[in-house]
Structure formats: C-alpha cells, structure tokens
Chains A and B, each alone.
Chain A
Amino acid sequence: MNRMGSTWSVVWPPLVFVGIFILAWELVVVAFGIPLYLLPAPHEVVEVLWSESDRLLPATGRTALATGIGFFASAVIGVISGSLLSIVPLARRGIYPLTLLLQMVPLVAIAPMLVIWFGYGLPSVVAAACIVSVFPVIAGTLDGLQSVDKGLLELFHTHRAGRIRTWWLLGLPWSLPSIFTGLRIAAGLSVIGAVVGEFVGAYGGDQAPLGSVITSALRQNRTEVVFAAVVLASALGFLLFGIVNVAGWVLLRRWHASKV
C-alpha cells in the first residue's frame, strides 16, 4: 500500500503538467484559429494516430528495431571501449580525448556519408543511432572504473587477481551505477540518431520508418502526421529509457543506494 502510494506520488506531477500543457495547446490553437498546416491541435494529432495507425504503427516498429539494435551496439561497444580505456593507460590518454569527437560530430552532416558507407535501409540507420549514443556509455563506464575504491583494488592486488579478473569481479560491478547513467542518456540519443539517419538513409513508401514518414509528411504539408510521428518517436524514447531503468533496478536493488 505504502509502495503504491509512493509510485503514485512519482507519477502524478508529470501527468498533471502534461495534461495542462495539452489543454493549453488545444486552447491556443482554437482561440487563435491557427491553421492545421502550421500547428495541429492535440485532438487532430490523436485523430491521425488513430486513422493512420495502419501506417504509423509499422513505421514505429521499424524505427524501434533500428533504435534497439543501435542502442544495444552502443551499450556493448561503449562498455568494452570504456573498459579497454581504463585498463590501458596509454589508450586512455591517447584515445579517450578522441572519443569526444563522437559527442561533437554533427550527425546531420555525416548522415549522407553513412548511406554511402553502409547502404540504404537498416545498416546506415543503426550506425547513426549508435554513433550519437555510444559516447555517454564510454564516459559512464570509464568514470565508474576510474573511481573504484583504492582499498578494494589493494585487496584484489594482494590476492594476485589479474587485470581481467579485477575488472570482471570488482570494476564492472562497481561501475554499474555510472554505466546505467550513461545508458539512460544513450536511450534518448539513440532514438534521435535513428530518426535523423532515417531522414536520409531509410526506405520510404510502404516500408517507411518514422523518420521517412516525417520528411514525407513535411513535404505534403501534413503537419498533423509529423506531430503524430514525433509523439511516437518520443514514446519509443520513453520506453527504452524505462527498460534501462528497470534493468538498472533489477541489477542494483540488492546492494546499491542509487537504485531507481
């Protein structure tokens, strides 16, 4: 009972604010007579979500697939690279500053190159999702591994545990909270990366993911479709964020204070 009460106390404030926001949006559109092609009212977005669900839901599925693969790749690549950078000091000093480039690269500028390198469809979209979301995972992993308790490291050292063993048994568990912080940031970024990748690299027509739906709808002045697709993309981001949080809670709840 107490538990349910505390869940509710977390959930209601954002819900109330979302409700107020949507209501205000609806009122502004109606009161100022804003035409559909400029800003659709929330009810028009909901209508199109319903009436075009046969097109929008498969599109969401395609974007979800690319986002999921891209995010998973980021998680794996991020944790492995972060660990390597931590274990090899020279690499940390030489390569870590360069990984910052991943954070700074303007994805829209290189997206057309990704199409040339990886081809149309899923591969280039996954690459886009991975490129923008991998850095927070690398940074989170490295930060965690760098901050392992010195006393515990001494203990592993005196027991003659090798680097790999120390990493596996001490470093990685110790770093989980900061790895999950990185993954939470990566979750949202991977959706953005996928959608931008889809702008230039994805198939259209009856194989269109959300990014292609958005560009096509923009050119046809179907602003309500653009908003519907954006709502679905945001929902994907929330879902992935939620999955990461649940995974973090499952892994950390027994022993760590930062459990969600």
Chain B
Amino acid sequence: MLHSSLRRASVSITALALGVFLIAGCGDTGSSDEGSGPRRLTVQLNWFPEPEFGGLYAAKENGHFEAQGLQVELVKGGADVPAGQLVASGSVQIAVVSAAQLVTLRAQGGRATAVFASFQKAPRAVVVKEDSKYDSLESLWAGEGRIMADAGLPWTRWVNHRFGDTKLRFVPYAGSLAPFLSGEVVAMQAFATAEPVQLEAEGKSVRTFLTADTGYDPYDVVLAVHDDLLEDDPDTVRRFVTALTGGWEDYLEDPASTNAVIAKLNPDFTSATLELAASRLPAFVRSPDTESHRLGWMSEDRWKTLLEQLVTIGELTEERRTGVGRLFVNPEIEPDSSEGVPGPDGSPGND
C-alpha cells in the first residue's frame, strides 16, 4: 500500500512534466479517422482509474461505445495531469474535468464544453480520523495542524470564505495516503467515493465532511468535449453521451465486472474496496434531475450558482464572467439503444 502510494506520487510528478510537454506540442487532433470503421475518441481522465469513472469503464467493457460506433480510449490521469488544458486546447477530444476548472479555462479562451455530469452532488470532501477532535469542517477549519490539500483550489477558497481563513498548514497531495495514515497530517482532501473507502478498507475509520454541505456543490466530475468536436460532429458527441449514459446505468446496477477491470488498472484498489465505493455512488450520481431527465443531465441553475460563487471568492472577475460563453449542453440521447445507431450526416460507424 505504502509502496504503491509512493509510486503513484512519483508517477504523478513525472506526469506533470509529461503533461506540460504534451500541451506544448498541442495541435488540432480533434478529428481523426474520417474513413470507415468506428469513430476513434480519446478520453483523458483527471485522476487514477477509480470508481468515479465507473460509467466510462462500464460503457467500454459492456460494449456501449462499440454499439454506438465508437472506439474509445480511456487515458488515466494523476495529480498533475492537466486534463483541462488538454481538452481546451484540442490535444484530446474529451476529458474529465471539474466544472470550476472548465469555467476558468473558458474565461481564458479555452474551447471546451461540458456534455455530461457524472456526479450530480459534489463528492469533494475533507476526511479526518474517527478519533479526531474535529466533528465538522467548520471546527477543523478553526483548528491547527497540517492538511494534505491544495490551498489555491476554488473549494478551499470557498471554505475560507465561509468559515474564515484557516490556520491549517497546507501540504501537497500527490496521491499517497501515507502521510495521513502516519499522522503527519490531521486531514486530507478526498473524493467521498474514493479515499474514505480506501481508508476504511485498510481498517481506518474516518469522518468525511462534504464541501457540498457548505454550499459549494458544483458538478465536480464532468465530461468536457473540445468545441470543434461538438460543433463539427455533434452526432458523435450524442452517441458518446448515449453510450456513457448506458455505461453509468450498468455500473450503478451491477458494478462487479467493471470493478475487476478498474482493480487491474489501479493496484491501490482491490475489488472489495471498489465494491464498497460503488455502493456509495448512487447518492452522488442520481438526483431529482436525473430522475426527470437522464443520468448526467445538467441544470442551468447549478452552473449559474457556480459562476456566482467563483466571482465571490475572486477566482473569476466580473469582466471575465461575461466572456465565459457556453459552458454546457445536454445532448439529446437515443431513448433506447435498440433503435440502432443513427448516421444522418452519413457518418460511418454502424457495425
């Protein structure tokens, strides 16, 4: 565990260098493989393979992408893989990003649009040990000690805004749980469906404080597509979202086979841990919106609230806010995949 965590940390640093290199060499790779055969898409994840990408892996493993005429490659990320920049610049066609990241990228001229919100409730959280004296995020924020988190991210600034500037000292989180386990840090940032579950699986009881409960509840895991793909080939995007919706439905219903795949890709997770994590997903992935529309559906109000909050904490200037433009679309999906794969624009891809 310790070793693999360390390896992850070092891998993520290497990824930082690699990511910068990738961006530097960016070009327009938006459209590839216009010939016959399945349409190829690359999806850049923003973290190691984990349950929050369950729908993507399920859509791939269970043939939903294939049924839509898509050949999708899922590229794993890490602490410093700049997934947002990669998709905003068109170096990859699709990436998993946070809504806040998408806003700041668009404000700087980035060209990417959200098409699917995997998580309806933000899973962003802070964990402390069960025997900690802190029983809420507010009490922790008033406390002292080290927290393994990034001080500059919007959620920490929001919490500062809510509870006052903290005296906690921030140390970097590069993917290793070791400093938390050894007590070097009193708290760490987390995804409610990942780290707390890993820690519990190791026999460490923790308390999880969701930032959503402080009022900061954006779409934290969205699939963003490069604008060229969305504008030139909306049908491919529609098919992608259709397949992804199917993938998430599968994963929520029966995650076992997909978990086996994720466990193989990420040795930090065992199948048992993944099973426990998956059991917590429905609370985040389903919402009244997904009941009345479909999984991944996004509401205008939620995006507006995020913009206001980003202005409040100074992440976004009023001036730039107006230049953000289109942040998301909700592509119409095929109501039932049995209707087959449409190709109105003549795009090949039926199999």
| Residues of chain A from 195 to 246 with CB closer than 8 A to chain B in the complex | 196, 199-208, 212, 215-221
Binds B, one of A104-112, A139-147, A154-162: A104-112
Q: Is the CB of B10 within 8 A of A38?
A: no
Indicate whether B6 reaches chain A with its CB closer than 8 angstroms.
yes
Q: Is the CB of B6 within 8 A of A204?
A: no
Inter-chain CA distance A200–B150, complex, in Å, is 11
Indicate whether A96 reaches chain B with its CB closer than 8 angstroms.
no
Q: Given A215-B80, A220-B153, A221-B101, decide whether A203 and B10 contact each other with a Cβ distance below 8 A.
A: no
Contacts of A216 in B (CB 8 A): 150-153
Contacts of B80 in A (CB 8 A): 215, 218-219
Q: Is the CB of A120 within 8 A of B174?
A: no
Q: Is the CB of B178 within 8 A of A200?
A: no
Q: Is the CB of A120 within 8 A of B146?
A: yes
Q: Is the CB of A204 within 8 A of B151?
A: yes
Q: Is the CB of B171 within 8 A of A120?
A: yes
**Size of B's binding interface in residues, CB under 8 A:** 39
Residue-wise, chain A 112-129 has the 8 Å CB interface mask toward B (1 for contact) of 110110011000000000
Residue-wise, chain A 87-105 has the 8 Å CB interface mask toward B (1 for contact) of 0000000000000000000
Indicate whether A36 reaches chain B with its CB closer than 8 angstroms.
yes
Helix, strand, loop or mixed for chain A's interface? Answer: helix
Residues of A in contact with B, size category: 20 to 34
Choose one: B14, B104, B146, B172; the contact of A200 (CB below 8 Å): B172
Q: Given A120-B184, A204-B172, decide whether A108 and B152 contact each other with a Cβ distance below 8 A.
A: no
Inter-chain CA distance A205–B82, complex, in Å, is 21
Q: Is the CB of B151 within 8 A of A208?
A: yes
Q: Is the CB of B26 within 8 A of A115?
A: no
Choose one: B16, B85, B101, B151; the contact of A38 (CB below 8 Å): B85
Contacts of A205 in B (CB 8 A): 151-152, 169-170
Contacts of A119 in B (CB 8 A): 184
Indicate whether B74 reaches chain A with its CB closer than 8 angstroms.
no
Q: Is the CB of A38 within 8 A of B171?
A: no
Choose one: B88, B176, B182; the contact of A112 (CB below 8 Å): B176
Q: Is the CB of A112 within 8 A of B9?
A: yes
Indicate whether B23 reaches chain A with its CB closer than 8 angstroms.
yes
Contacts of B152 in A (CB 8 A): 204-205, 216-217, 219-220
Inter-chain CA distance A92–B23, complex, in Å, is 46
Q: Given A38-B89, A204-B150, A217-B152, decide whether A108 and B14 contact each other with a Cβ distance below 8 A.
A: yes
Indicate whether A50 reaches chain B with its CB closer than 8 angstroms.
no
Contacts of A196 in B (CB 8 A): 13
Inter-chain CA distance A212–B151, complex, in Å, is 10
| Residues of chain B from 109 to 135 with CB closer than 8 A to chain A in the complex | 109-110
Choose one: A108, A206, A215; the contact of B172 (CB below 8 Å): A215
Contacts of A208 in B (CB 8 A): 151, 170
7 extra interface residue pairs, beta carbon distance < 8 Å, beyond A37-B88, A204-B172: A108-B10, A108-B14, A109-B10, A202-B171, A204-B170, A207-B170, A215-B16
| Chain B residues within CB distance 8 Å of chain A | 6, 9-10, 13-14, 16-17, 20, 23, 26, 80, 82, 84-85, 88-89, 101, 104-105, 108-110, 146, 149-153, 169-172, 174, 176, 178-179, 182, 184, 315
| Chain A residues within CB distance 8 Å of chain B | 35-38, 108-109, 111-113, 115-116, 119-120, 196, 199-208, 212, 215-221
